[in-house]
Structure 1
Amino acid sequence: MIGILLILSFLFMVWYCMKGYNLMVGFFIMATVWTALVLIGNAIEPTVALKGKSIVDVLTFVYADGPAAYASSILVNIFFGAFFGRVLIDTGIAATLIRKVVELGGDRPRITMALLCIITSVIFMSLTGIGPVISIAVIVLPILFSLGIEAPVALFAFMGSIMAGIFANTVNFYQYRTMYAGFVKAAASYSYNDYFTIGIIGMIVGLIVVLTISNLTMKKTTHNWVVDAQPSGTAGPTNAPWWSWFAVILPVILLVAWKVPVIAGFIISAVYAMATTGKLRGSYKEVCRRFAKYFSDGTVDVAPMIGFLLALAMFNNAATYASPYFTAIIGGIVPTNHLVLAIVFAILAPLAFFRGPMNWVGSGAAIFSVVLASNPGIAVQFMYPLTAAVTIFPQHLDLTQSWVAWGMSYAKVSSSDYMKRSIPTGWICAAIMCLVIYVMYGAM
């Protein structure tokens, strides 16, 4: 009975996510409901998950340990990633790269769109948060519009390029890896260096699929030729020097080549970006004020995400206690064969849209906990990228993603025009990567 009630509440959460209600509040409510059901179930018949634990121990694990562990392992990465994003934007490095790409593309809209998508993906290997997305969008989207590319295609191509970059994003890697490690402790030793190869492959696959669908659904372009990355009424743009451009990928290079910790990499890269663009000039107080402003602005960019992630950490810990009940109901039908798992994940990938049951940052934590509990010996190298693929590709094209919702309003694009491109793309990318991951790690 407890298992059935948990499943019914889980279905309610799927509906709640699809309706677009506040996710932070929703996951806090779900954590509370599941904790209550687990305590009631344990009082009737004790489970292994709660053996030797008092009510206070359970509440501490869900409401204190969950957010605290998440804060110590990932929130600081998010804050410094957002800080670095603000540095790239305010130093003009990001805008300069985009302008140079437009010059390279010339009067060929399809080539210019492809180049803009590639550079956007590279930028979002490091950047995160709605603030940097909007700052880049208000440069890229008007350029695409002026090239005669219709708004639905332009918006989809831009959001899809972000999605591709996020698959190799350092901050997002540690975010999802921390969720995974909540159920499989061995995952804590799985590093970005271990993930890097599959991350780059996923990024390339995402770009190829996005550009293919964009070109197939693009009508004949009519040029407006008002290509200007600078807001009207302001002075002409000043380009950042070419040697400063390396700052965009410097955090990834430092992490992969020399295993420099993520936060140290962001700080070093930010200092390099500021030094090469003259932002370290001035008095000591002025420079300190500039650093503080970048960090403050970056924090504001990711603030809405923080509350949601802390509530999600509570939900994930509650799901740990709830997993025996899910296993009792559906554990017998969870596949354990690598190929079958890859095929099932590929088929069910669309269920990650609208924060559905295949989405780590949706209602999927409970389902994944059952899958992981049913496969205790499965390699992290295979299973982690599999869960990441079905989460990242649909999630970052989804209407529930804050910057996608902003983009549709900004570009005046209807949800139907956007979804007829985004949903097939998310599904295709996830399915391709599920099979790639199987070939690379599951068939060994």
Structure 2
Amino acid sequence: MDVANVVIGFIMVLSFFGLVWYCVKGYNLMVGFFVMSVLWTSIALIGNSIHPTSVMEGKTFIDVLTNVFQTGPENYGKAILVNIFFGAFFGRVLIDTGIAATLIRKVVELGGDKPRITMSLLCIVTAVIFTSMTGIGPVISIAVIVLPIMLSLGIPSPIALFSFMGSIMAGIFGNIVNFKQYQTIFATANESYASYDYNTYFKFGMIAMAVSLIVVLVVSNVMMNRKLSRAWAATPDSGATVDAPAISWISIILPVVGVVVLKVPIIFGFIFAALFALLTCGKLKGGFASVCRMLSKQFADGAIDVAPMIGFLLTLSMFNNAATYASPYFKTLLDGAMPQTALLLCIVFAILTPLGFFRGPMNLVGSGSAILAVVVATAAWPVQFLYPLFAITTVAPQHLDVTQSWVAWGFGYTKVPAKEYMKMSIPTGWIIGIILCAVVFFMYGNLV
């Protein structure tokens, strides 16, 4: 074992834990990942000058800088940002046409003044909605409808907030935009993983969505105080609102159906579903110029909804590419400690699922991309097996996490103390992780 590589490996590990601490403290992630990209690239270049590594073989100083700070963001923009923008546009259409609000009102009518039933139905609809929608704007737009209904039924505010955020988390397991985001991270770690598509993932995604939703609802019902102090029955104001036509409701699932059943490109799926929603809701009237202005505004509003994450994602792409140059030094230290069987790896992921909270080392949209680079470098794991494992430790913790932007907004909106929320969110994320890691082993363990 080369002494220089060991020393550099320890420096990398220390800086990695520094990043974890930075994420836990809630500091600006865009700046944090840019600084780490610079640091790891610099250390890797110094290490390569002392003891050349295979990942930098044949590359000049400029080649390395170009790969990290130019190619990374360019490839990320090509692979994921366009999907995010069109997904956000579709989400804004669902809000502006009133389709999302109509579905929620119909659910409330169905559940009546039965808190547990209404809460369950609202969570199911919210999960389905967020298989296509994304961004803090759509979340808030739905939250200001759903949360007052739950609170009005006497559901304690911590449980109302937790169940709503948990239902979003469940929906994200099937969300096409999020899939593309994580797929790009995998493709950066190993080019052969780029062929993994949403259709291959779909079966597990739906199972993960169902399991997550069931666990969230079980925890919510167990935690719910039996003596609910109902203020008023949550029924929609029929005089102040107009329901979207029933035919328009299917637009919510059209992008997923288009990709899975018809194999259409996802951007076309979003555009077709948006136009279908607008047409069936009678929004494509008033002349060509008026319709063009409306579409332009909806796209712009959608872009604003996801704008806070764009800079973060671009610097994350830099960090992902820098992590590939850092991986040989992690491998030097961790090679012997990495699990070599499917069962052991599933057990490790199940145990370490809580480390996906606070953008921790098991979270791909945090410091987990470095761990991915190490895991990929130490063994030839099939992507059908490895992707779901990282999806589990990313989606479940991140979308229940207090560092998630819309969860932080929810604290201010409902006045729920973070401590009360975390009593439910962290155990729930862990339970989901354990169950789903077992599912991955039984579904894909034979591929290893």
Q: Which of the five TM-score ranges fits, normalised by the shorter chain?
A: over 0.9
* C-alpha distance after superposition, 1:223-262 (max 9, x if no partner): 11153667xxx96010001000000101001111100110
Secondary structure of 1:182's aligned partner: helix
**Match in the other structure for 2:137:** 131
Q: Which amino acid aligns with 1:188?
A: A
Q: Which amino acid aligns with 1:224?
A: A
**Match in the other structure for 1:286:** 290
Q: Which amino acid aligns with 1:391?
A: T
Distance in 2 between residues matched to 1:125 and 1:225, nearest whole Å? 31
**Match in the other structure for 2:16:** 10
Equivalent of residue 307 in structure 2, options 286, 303, 307: 303
User: Kindly, what percent of the aligned residue pairs are identical?
Assistant: 62
Q: Work out whether 1:60 is the aligned partner of 2:60.
A: no
Question: Residues 397 and 422 of structure 1 are in contact (CA less than 8 Å); yes or no, is this contact kept in structure 2?
Answer: yes
Q: Work out whether 1:207 is the aligned partner of 2:213.
A: yes
Distance in 1 between residues matched to 2:185 and 2:393, nearest whole Å? 14
Query: Where does the alignment leave 5 or more consecutive residues of structure 2 unmatched?
Result: 1-6
* C-alpha distance after superposition, 1:258-308 (max 9, x if no partner): 001100000000000000001101110000000000000000000010000
**Match in the other structure for 1:222:** 229
Distance in 2 between residues matched to 1:81 and 1:228, nearest whole Å? 30
**Match in the other structure for 2:419:** 416
Equivalent of residue 431 in structure 1, options 418, 431, 434: 434
Question: Residues 95 and 229 of structure 1 are in contact (CA less than 8 Å); yes or no, is this contact kept in structure 2?
Answer: no
Question: Residues 113 and 234 of structure 2 are in contact (CA less than 8 Å); yes or no, is this contact kept in structure 1?
Answer: no
Question: Residues 85 and 298 of structure 1 are in contact (CA less than 8 Å); yes or no, is this contact kept in structure 2?
Answer: yes
Deviation at 1:72, TM superposition (A): 0.2
* C-alpha distance after superposition, 1:117-155 (max 9, x if no partner): 000000000000000000000000000000000100000
Equivalent of residue 327 in structure 1, options 322, 331, 334: 331
Q: Which amino acid aligns with 2:15?
A: S
Question: Residues 158 and 421 of structure 2 are in contact (CA less than 8 Å); yes or no, is this contact kept in structure 1?
Answer: yes
Q: Work out whether 1:174 is the aligned partner of 2:177.
A: no
**Match in the other structure for 2:114:** 108
Question: Residues 106 and 112 of structure 1 are in contact (CA less than 8 Å); yes or no, is this contact kept in structure 2?
Answer: yes
Q: Which amino acid aligns with 1:128?
A: T
Secondary structure of 1:179's aligned partner: helix
Distance in 2 between residues matched to 1:364 and 1:132, nearest whole Å? 27
Deviation at 1:431, TM superposition (A): 1.3
Distance in 1 between residues matched to 2:431 and 2:446, nearest whole Å? 21
Distance in 2 between residues matched to 1:207 and 1:121, nearest whole Å? 8
Distance in 2 between residues matched to 1:374 and 1:228, nearest whole Å? 57
Secondary structure of 1:397's aligned partner: coil
Question: Residues 143 and 229 of structure 1 are in contact (CA less than 8 Å); yes or no, is this contact kept in structure 2?
Answer: no
Query: Which residues in structure 2 correspond to 1:69-108 (within 5 Å)?
Result: 69-108=75-114
Moved over 3 A (4+): none
Question: Residues 140 and 229 of structure 1 are in contact (CA less than 8 Å); yes or no, is this contact kept in structure 2?
Answer: no
Q: Work out whether 1:156 is the aligned partner of 2:162.
A: yes
**Match in the other structure for 2:4:** none
How many residues end up aligned between the 2 structures? 440
Distance in 2 between residues matched to 1:289 and 1:188, nearest whole Å? 37
* C-alpha distance after superposition, 1:297-340 (max 9, x if no partner): 00000001000000000000000000000000112101120000
Q: Which amino acid aligns with 1:351?
A: L
Q: Work out whether 1:28 is the aligned partner of 2:34.
A: yes
**Match in the other structure for 2:171:** 165
Q: Could you say what the CA RMSD is over the residues aligned between the two structures, in angstroms?
A: 1.1
Distance in 2 between residues matched to 1:56 and 1:319, nearest whole Å? 17
Query: Which residues in structure 2 correspond to 1:193-204 (within 5 Å)?
Result: 193-204=199-210
Question: Residues 109 and 235 of structure 2 are in contact (CA less than 8 Å); yes or no, is this contact kept in structure 1?
Answer: no
Structure 1 residues 28 and 229 mapped into 2: Cα distance closer, same or farther (>3 Å)?
A: farther
Q: Which amino acid aligns with 1:433?
A: L
**Match in the other structure for 2:385:** 382
**Match in the other structure for 1:263:** 267
